[in-house]
DNA sequence: GTTGTTATCCAAAGCGCTTTGAAAAACTTC
DNA sequence: GAAGTTTTTCAAAGCGCTTTGGATAACAAC
């Protein structure tokens, strides 16, 4: 059933039927009701491709699945971020489109999606410290929003991010206050902007407390359970092992815990751990008392906000780029305890 | 730059340009080359909405994000399944569309996507034992494929699934052979078809060995770390606790391990654990020797296959529904050891 | 009853592509 | 060189919607 058939059936013009359904004022209430009911009854829904052609808007937003280049790892954060964005999209009658990039061809994919008018805007996930995609998107005039930031990018652009530096500084300070001195950092890949910022927070706190930075205690890898385990295991075998770990993800932290237990130690009592918790729905950090002391920030919430910023921008392109800094909260759980200096 | 402009620029008709770009034979090689180069040079890409309107095909496949109704949990498997499907889609020039369902309105969403001609077909994820969506999709004539199966559905439909019953039966037998008798099952929600089948496999093995089924050792909940921990903790506090656990997901198994260690026990030596491993990219089960003995089946691979089945069906609607049963392999890791009867 | 307003409705153009049916051009063949 | 074939190109219709610029009907005012 299409517009033409429906209008013939009602004895009205396509114009009138279209206007009635889209809530324009130039149509009497009687006919509007008649039209709306006929539409429902005959199960009419407008062809989105035709609508899109006529209006010039796709009502679709594009995402590119951030496969980690090195190991083809799907970011575990992905599902929850998407769920958040999707919620905002559907409230605004947008659909969500996916594409995936082959080997760093992400900019190409974005361009293709936009040039083919498949999408009205795109979300850039997982920005690196140096992120040429941002300039590319700006130059192409594609509306976009970044989940995270890119330190090497100085022009204005819209983003949502957690204050990673601040949260890791605070958390490291917390460990120092507890009496820890040898504090290890198990970080994500440091070409990722968030990882670089977390390292900076860690370093700032160490420096402020006049503690030396020991490269052997600073590890950077993909954030998997196995990598976390591996790094922590090696460090715990050192002559003077760390007494505390700052860990960039819950998944890695689970690996760290495994290494601690394998070493015959007890978390909190012997070794403290603070993890970053993205508040993933399938990996909640305990129920009442959290398993891990953590810096927590909901990635799902970030998804909702990112979506809203982008939609606002699409609707109002001359708007100045909106930015939104989220603060991670520090929740105290069962993975931290006093260190040797206390 | 659109077709009209490009054709005027070349001094050719839109017909010829269109045909040249789409590889039709009725155009000389010389002009084809000329056209293709001009298109590249002027950065022309056809408007997908116009193409879609003209061809009647969207070249898009729809997915509905399976939020677990009860707790709004994003399935951790989601990302990897999508990555697999996406790979196949992009090889076949399909894009992927997402929608999310509000409170069981999934069938409505599928219908809307298809009626509005947003998609050419849909993937149904997370089927329950009773799954009215399958009948709905069939009745609506929407091409679809199911990731998993639905036991209450007897008509033919295309699917990809792991032989869950078989793999859980074999794994349970493996524990019995090791000398375990009190074997617990930590399962997902049993209205989910896969969970029901896994339970059946477990029960079959127990029955075949003349072992009683103890309801206190059979737990069913959302597959989170916390739920796994909770269940295992309670069971380990029983008078005669289980000596082995069959666990439906790696994430729950991590919780089980935590409970085992909190109880002062050692995995493998005191308590054995077998987990189902979806081979998620960010949660690899160890490197050389797996952490957990596991029934393993790559969900990413399942995504690739599901996508192919659906695309075949879209291209050839009168094809009989294809089905594909995947076999989970049993990998022996460091979480199992001899039980009391050995 | 004529004029001026306002509330309703409509015909037709346009969005950017594909595809049908036909024409023009280029070859063959005799 | 005319007739027949094949190759190459094109004009125009159509996909299903929105929207512009009227037209018509209904009503009020004089």
- Two structure tokens written together for B215: 């309801």
B24 and B104 together in one domain: no
Q: Does A28 touch chain B (CB under 8 A)?
A: no
Decide: CB of A46 under 7 A of nucleic strand D.
yes
How many Å does it take to go from CA A192 to C1' C27? Answer: 64
Clarify whether residues A104 and A192 are in a common domain: no
| Residue entry with tokens 């994919």 | A109
What CA–CA distance (Å, rounded) separates B212 from B210? Answer: 6
Do B336 and B181 form a contact (C-beta atoms < 8 A)? no
The answer to whether residue A331 sits within a structural domain is: no
| A68 and A124 within one domain | yes
Q: Using alpha carbons only, how large is chain B's radius of gyration in Å?
A: 25
The CATH number of residue B33's host domain is: 1.10.260
CB of B69 within 8 Å of any CB in chain A? Answer: no
pLDDT of res. B69: 67
Calculated CA dihedral for residues B43, B48, B52, B58, nearest 10 degrees: 130
Inform me whether the pLDDT recorded for B12 exceeds 70: yes
Q: What is the pLDDT of residue A238?
A: 97
Is B26 found in the same domain as B91?
A: no
Domain of B3, in residue numbers: 1-40
Q: Which residues contact A189 (CB under 8 A, 6 or more apart)?
A: A68, A70, A195, A220, A221, A222
What's the number of domains chain B is made of?
3
d(CA A290, CA A329): 13
**A190 shares its domain with A106:** no
Does a structural domain hold residue B22? yes
Does some domain include residue A109? yes
* B73 and B129 co-located in one domain: yes
> Cβ–Cβ contacts within 10 Å for residue B38, how many?
18
Q: Domain end: B298, B313, B337, which one?
A: B298
Tell whether the model's pLDDT for residue A168 goes beyond 90.
yes
Of A239, A274, A282, A277, the residue nearest A256 (C-alpha): A274
Shared domain for B71 and B136, answered yes or no, is yes
What mean pLDDT comes out for the span A248-277? 96
Q: Are residues B260 and B315 in the same domain?
A: no
Does residue A330 have a pLDDT over 90? yes
Residue B273 near chain A (CB below 8 Å) = no
Whole-number pLDDT of residue A294: 98
Q: Are residues B290 and B187 in the same domain?
A: yes
Nearest nucleotide (C1') to alpha carbon of B117: D16
A vs B: CB pairs below 8 A: 157
* DSSP notation for B259-320: HHHHTT--BTTTBEEEEEE---TTS---SSS-SSEEEE--HHHHHHHHHHHHHHHHH-TTSP
pLDDT at A108 over 90: no
pLDDT for B46 equals: 94
For residue B101, being part of any structural domain is answered with: yes
Q: What is the pLDDT of residues A288-304, one digit of tens each?
A: 899 999 999 999 999 99
Question: Is B277 found in the same domain as B259?
Answer: yes
Q: What is the largest CA-CA distance in chain B?
A: 88
Task: For chain A, state the CA radius of gyration.
Answer: 25
B51 touches strand D (CB under 7 A): no
Interface probe with B: pick from A270, A282, A284, A287, most Cβ of B within 10 Å: A282
Q: Which two tokens stand for residue B111?
A: 């219908």
Cβ contacts of B251 on chain A, cutoff 8 Å: 282-283
Question: Which tens digits make up the pLDDT trace of B145-163?
Answer: 999 999 999 999 999 999 9
A323: helix, strand or coil: strand
Q: Give pLDDT tens digits for B211-252.
A: 999 999 999 999 999 999 999 999 999 999 999 999 999 999
Asked if residues B300 and B83 have their Cβ atoms less than 8 Å apart, the reply is: yes
Does B289 lie in the same domain as B204? yes
How is B17-86 classified by DSSP, letter by letter?
HHHHHHT-SSS-HHHHHHHHHHHHHTT----HHHHHHHHS---EEEEEE-EETTTTEEPTTHHHHHHHHH
Measured between CB atoms, does A54 come within 8 Å of chain B?
Answer: no
In this predicted structure, what is the pLDDT of residue A103? 62
Let me know if residue B48 belongs to a domain.
no
Query: Are the beta carbons of B225 and B252 closer than 8 angstroms?
Result: yes
Per the domain annotation, does A254 fall within a domain? yes
Say if residue B133 is in the same domain as residue B242: no
CA of A100 to C1' of D1 (A): 62
CATH number of the domain bearing residue B282: 3.40.50.2300
B196–chain A Cβ distance below 8 A for any pair: no
- B5 Cβ neighbours under 8 A, 6+ residues apart: none
Residue A50: count other Cβ atoms within 10 Å of its Cβ.
17
- Chain A interface includes B251 (CB < 8 A): yes
Nucleotide at minimal C1' distance from the B28 CA: D8
**Contacts of residue A115 in chain B, CB cutoff 8 Å?**
43, 45
With CA of B7 and C1' of each nucleotide, the nearest comes out as D10
Chain A residues touching B264 at Cβ < 8 A: none
Report the distance separating Cα A225 and Cα B291, nearest Å. Answer: 10
pLDDT single digits (tens) B103-137? 667 788 888 899 999 999 999 999 999 999 999 99
For B301-313, what is each residue's pLDDT tens digit? 999 999 999 999 9
Q: Is residue A337 part of a domain?
A: no
Q: Tell me the C-alpha distance between B310 and B306, whole Å.
A: 6
**Is residue A206 within a helix (H) or strand (E), and if so which, with residue range?**
helix A193-208
Residue A339 lies inside a defined structural domain of this protein: no
């Amino acid at each position: 059933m299409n517009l033409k058939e429906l209008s013939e059936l009602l004895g009205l013009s396509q114009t009138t039927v279209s206007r009635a359904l889209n809530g324009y004022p130039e149509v009497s209430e009687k006919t509007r009701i008649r039209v709306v009911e006929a539409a429902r009854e005959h199960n009419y829904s407008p062809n989105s491709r035709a609508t899109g052609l006529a209006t010039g808007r796709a009502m679709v937003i594009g995402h590119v699945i951030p496969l980690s280049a090195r190991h083809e790892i799907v970011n575990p954060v992905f599902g929850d971020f998407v769920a958040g964005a999707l919620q905002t999209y559907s409230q605004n009658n947008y659909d969500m489109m996916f594409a995936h990039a082959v080997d760093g061809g992400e900019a190409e994919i974005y361009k293709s999606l936009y040039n083919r008018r498949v999408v009205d805007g795109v979300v850039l996930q997982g920005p690196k410290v140096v992120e040429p995609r941002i300039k590319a998107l700006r130059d192409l005039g594609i509306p976009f929003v970044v989940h995270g930031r890119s330190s090497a990018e100085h022009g204005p652009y819209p983003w949502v991010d957690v204050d990673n530096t601040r949260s890791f500084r605070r958390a490291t300070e917390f460990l120092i206050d507890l009496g820890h001195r040898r504090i290890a950092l198990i970080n994500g890949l440091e070409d990722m902007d968030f990882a670089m910022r977390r390292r900076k927070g860690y370093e700032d706190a160490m420096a402020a407390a006049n503690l030396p930075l020991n490269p052997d205690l600073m590890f950077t890898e993909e954030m998997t359970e196995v990598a976390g385990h591996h790094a922590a295991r090696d460090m715990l075998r050192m002559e003077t092992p760390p007494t505390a770990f700052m860990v960039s993800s819950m998944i890695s932290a689970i690996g760290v815990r495994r290494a601690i237990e394998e070493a015959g130690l007890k978390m909190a009592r012997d070794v403290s751990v603070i993890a970053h918790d993205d508040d993933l729905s399938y990996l909640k950090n305990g129920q009442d008392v959290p398993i891990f002391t953590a810096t927590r920030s909901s990635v799902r919430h970030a998804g909702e906000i990112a979506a809203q910023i982008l939609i606002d921008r699409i609707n109002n392109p001359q708007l100045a780029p909106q930015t939104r800094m989220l603060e991670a909260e520090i929740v105290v759980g069962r993975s931290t305890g006093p260190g040797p200096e206390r």
